[in-house]
Chains A and B, each alone.
Chain A
Amino acid sequence: MTLLNVAPLVLRRRGGIAGILPIIGFAASTAILATVLGGLTAFLGRAAVVPEGVDFSDPRANLPFLLTCAAVATALLVPSAMGLGSAAAKLSLSRRERDLASMRLVGGTSAQIGTIAVLDVVLQALIGSLAGIGLHLAVTPALTGLDFGLAPFTIGELMLPVWGYPVLVLAVALLSAFSAALGLLGVVISPLGVARDSRIVRMSVIRLAVWVLLVIGFGAAFQIVPRLAGTADDPLLVTTVVLAVFMAVLVGSVNLVGPFVVWLAARILAAVAPRPALLVGARRLAADPRAGWRSVSGVTFGLVIAGFLTLLTIFGRSTDPAEAALMTALNTGGYLTLGIAAVLAAVSTGVTQTARVLDQAGVYRSQHVSGAPISALQRARMAEIGLPLAIAAIIAGVSAAGLIMPVLGGAAILGPLVQYLLSALVALGLVAVSVLVSAPLVSRVARSEA
């Protein structure tokens, strides 16, 4: 019997939440990718049929600018969605470690085990991505009700071209294979078990330096690109593409510096934490700052964009139909981006936290046996997400402060301000609630028999 014959026996699905978590991650990642890319193609389709020389009072004249905004939102959300897919792959791999060790015991070589591990992750990615496309199809009709100041989008417009779906499934599968292969580099699977790379996470200050350089570069590009684009055949298209690319790079750079900030803040907090829950939460965050940042990065970007667009809609109030339509579109787009980012963050946080509880079930149990009340275990988990949420809230607060300035100047914008603050509260609250999803699991594993 070859190893491939044995593999299905050893890697049989056990069911339960541990097996479902990676699939949920892949499904959410795929659904968001399909929905965001579908939205971008909808704007592309509309922009392509805008007649030459359309009157500026016609709302369709806004489409090229809206297309730029959609590209920026896509550049913002796609890396986060891909990050969730990558995290799901690593999670899937970690769930299988004991089985893979068993396969080493029955004679598998490292190369064979590595191949089987990656194939197993890819299989879960395929199941998850198919479920994600189903989810995307289920959600799309509701999106036709969104008001972008244009004729409502149809379901057909908001869907990807038919060939796009298999390509997306393939892309998610490839991403999962790559992430799993990368994850395998950090573990040694031996017949006696799995040895994990236990190096302490250290964040280099180089991350900060790179971020500063990229911000300077972005500022320069913002000045230079429109001038250079003026000489191109299609200046708007060139500007759109270049700015979207720069936005993606800027988002990437913030994602580079974000974990560094979280890591530094967590270490400082851990060193002075007066309460046990804060100590544990800060240490866990310092041990995995990337996961902590991933929990709130999308929401933070979403909050900044929503704040900026809210400000724009306040100043841009107009009786001109085209301008009013543009403001409506920007408002809808901003909050839609924030909503998608919040869902993405909540799923990512929920999956990561649940996986951690399963991984550390023995530690949770021993802590409870030693006298730690369940409530203290829960507080430590909330403290872990609390710091990244605080960072996001500070950024949201700064955005809100920007909104308050016109109020002080006498402009009547209480409505948009309240709308923004409520949205921030809901988005951040959703992430916090996603931690509570695994609260019953904590209680169960802590009270379980050894």
Chain B
Amino acid sequence: MNTTHPSAVPQSAPALPVPPVAGLAPQPQPLPAGPPPVLQARRLRHTYGKSASATPALNGIDLDIQVAESLAVMGPSGCGKTTLLHVLAGIIAPTDGTVHHGGQPLQDLSDAARTRLRRSAFGFVFQDGQLLPELTALENVILPRMLAGSSRRTATADARGWLDRLGLAGLHDRRPGQLSGGQAQRVAIARALAGRPTVVFADEPTGALDQATGHAVLEVLTEASREAGASLVMVTHDPAVAAVCERTIAMRDGRIEQQFRRRSAAEGQVR
């Protein structure tokens, strides 16, 4: 894989400029030229708690995520990266600011509509898989499809294809407890992608795996997402994990501090 570790970028290499923070850009910015982003966040602020005990988690975030782009969100603990993922995915509503998915403002949707959106347009990969322990690998993959209204027969045919493609042929009927950590995470990836999402959100997807297994799972996640035409938003604190993504944003204190684009051998320079 033609990747370069972000930390390997020369110190003199220019980082992308830090996006403007809220207050400096009171109106949503116009869409940039080219294909519209699949997700667009403007002036995002989020605060946990109220009054004196209030803890700001997001402090003016502007972010565009392009179709089929892979983005790593990095930063130290408590910098707001998981909160950003939750806000982008419509899991929590931001205290201020907007998130648009395909031009549709998430803040205008009811809780039920946002739940439907997550089911139909987004896929999720969690740190420890979070597969239903009683269901087989195949059933874990078909469940979200059935919830979205697919028939069991259709969902099963698609799910078998995804599991085989991710190297799990012959393991369809195993329970999560009978799978290795890497295999279980591949099932979670199949579950996330089987619904043909526009965006896959992954929160520390390799946090519970050893290095070798984690690397293999990352390759599967990024390549399968790209092939499926889904954008990937991955939260991680590990630079080696972030390195597989095309773009990395580094957060600190609820702000985007820096952005990097992966330098490929073909490009030969930081974009």
Which of A's residues lie within 8 Å of B, judged by CB? Answer: 198, 200, 270, 273-276, 279-280, 283-284, 286-287, 360, 362-363, 365-373, 376, 449-450
Q: Is the CB of A371 within 8 A of B175?
A: no
The digit string for B112-130, where 1 denotes a CB below 8 A from any CB of A, is 1001111110111010101
6 contacts between A and B (CB under 8 A): A200-B175, A283-B132, A363-B133, A370-B124, A371-B117, A371-B148
Q: Is the CB of A363 within 8 A of B130?
A: yes
Q: Which residues of B contact A368 (CB under 8 A)?
A: 115
Q: In the bound complex, what is the Cα–Cα distance between A376 and B147 (angstroms)?
A: 8
Q: In the bound complex, what is the Cα–Cα distance between A31 and B127 (angstroms)?
A: 44
| Choice from A273, A283, A372 contacting B144 with Cβ under 8 Å | A372
B167 at the interface (CB under 8 A from A): no
Q: In the bound complex, what is the Cα–Cα distance between A274 and B151 (angstroms)?
A: 7
Q: Which residues of A contact B178 (CB under 8 A)?
A: 198, 200
| Choice from B112, B130, B151 contacting A373 with Cβ under 8 Å | B112
B177 at the interface (CB under 8 A from A): yes
Q: Which residues of B contact A373 (CB under 8 A)?
A: 112, 115, 147
In addition to A274-B152, A279-B146, A370-B122, 12 A-B residue pairs with Cβ atoms within 8 Å of each other are A198-B177, A270-B139, A279-B139, A280-B134, A366-B126, A369-B118, A370-B119, A371-B116, A371-B119, A371-B144, A372-B119, A372-B147
Q: In the bound complex, what is the Cα–Cα distance between A273 and B123 (angstroms)?
A: 24
A146 to chain B, nearest CB (A): 43
- Which residues of B in the span 76-113 have a Cβ within 8 Å of any Cβ on A? 82, 89, 91-92, 112
Count contacts on B: residues with CB < 8 A to the other chain. 36
Interface centre among B117, B130, B177 (most CB of A within 10 A): B130
- Given A200-B175, A283-B139, A376-B147, A369 and B134 contact (CB-CB distance below 8 Å): no
Q: Which residues of A contact B115 (CB under 8 A)?
A: 368, 371-373
Q: Is the CB of A273 within 8 A of B152?
A: yes
The digit string for B203-231, where 1 denotes a CB below 8 A from any CB of A, is 10000000000000000000000000000
Nearest residue, chain B, Cβ from A360: B133
Q: Which residues of B contact A449 (CB under 8 A)?
A: 92
Q: Which residues of A contact B126 (CB under 8 A)?
A: 366
Q: Is the CB of B118 within 8 A of A371?
A: yes
- Which residues of B in the span 154-192 have a Cβ within 8 Å of any Cβ on A? 175, 177-178, 191-192
B170 to chain A, nearest CB (A): 17
Q: Which residues of A contact B144 (CB under 8 A)?
A: 370-372
Which of B's residues lie within 8 Å of A, judged by CB? Answer: 82, 89, 91-92, 112, 115-120, 122-124, 126, 128, 130-135, 139, 143-144, 146-148, 151-152, 175, 177-178, 191-192, 203
Nearest residue, chain A, Cβ from B117: A371
Q: In the bound complex, what is the Cα–Cα distance between A200 and B132 (angstroms)?
A: 14
Q: Which residues of A contact B82 (CB under 8 A)?
A: 450
B130 to chain A, nearest CB (A): 4
**A-B contacts, CB under 8 A, total:** 79
Q: Which residues of B contact A372 (CB under 8 A)?
A: 115, 119, 144, 147
- Given A198-B177, A373-B112, A275 and B130 contact (CB-CB distance below 8 Å): no
Q: Is the CB of B112 within 8 A of A369?
A: no
Q: Is the CB of B91 within 8 A of A369?
A: yes
Q: Is the CB of A276 within 8 A of B143?
A: yes
Q: Is the CB of B147 within 8 A of A366?
A: no
A201 to chain B, nearest CB (A): 10
Q: Which residues of A contact B128 (CB under 8 A)?
A: 362
- Given A275-B146, A279-B143, A371-B148, A366 and B130 contact (CB-CB distance below 8 Å): yes
Q: Which residues of A contact B122 (CB under 8 A)?
A: 370-371
Q: Is the CB of A286 within 8 A of B134?
A: yes
| Choice from B112, B123, B132, B148 contacting A363 with Cβ under 8 Å | B132
Q: In the bound complex, what is the Cα–Cα distance between A373 and B147 (angstroms)?
A: 9
B74 to chain A, nearest CB (A): 18
Q: In the bound complex, what is the Cα–Cα distance between A270 and B138 (angstroms)?
A: 12
Give 8 closest A-B pairs by Cβ, nearest first. Answer: A371-B119, A198-B177, A366-B130, A371-B118, A287-B134, A276-B146, A283-B134, A370-B124
B79 to chain A, nearest CB (A): 15
| Choice from A274, A370, A376 contacting B118 with Cβ under 8 Å | A370
Nearest residue, chain B, Cβ from A286: B134
Q: Which residues of B contact A198 (CB under 8 A)?
A: 133, 175, 177-178
Nearest residue, chain A, Cβ from B126: A366
Q: In the bound complex, what is the Cα–Cα distance between A135 and B144 (angstroms)?
A: 45
Nearest residue, chain B, Cβ from A270: B139
A113 to chain B, nearest CB (A): 23
- Given A200-B175, A373-B115, A450-B82, A276 and B134 contact (CB-CB distance below 8 Å): no
A202 to chain B, nearest CB (A): 12
A294 to chain B, nearest CB (A): 17
Q: Which residues of A contact B146 (CB under 8 A)?
A: 275-276, 279
Interface centre among B82, B134, B152, B191 (most CB of A within 10 A): B134
Q: Which residues of A contact B175 (CB under 8 A)?
A: 198, 200
Q: Which residues of A contact B131 (CB under 8 A)?
A: 363
Q: In the bound complex, what is the Cα–Cα distance between A286 and B91 (angstroms)?
A: 32
Q: In the bound complex, what is the Cα–Cα distance between A200 and B174 (angstroms)?
A: 10
A310 to chain B, nearest CB (A): 39
A286 to chain B, nearest CB (A): 7
A381 to chain B, nearest CB (A): 12
Nearest residue, chain A, Cβ from B48: A449
B237 to chain A, nearest CB (A): 15
Interface centre among A274, A276, A376 (most CB of B within 10 A): A276
Q: Is the CB of B135 within 8 A of A283?
A: yes
Nearest residue, chain B, Cβ from A373: B115
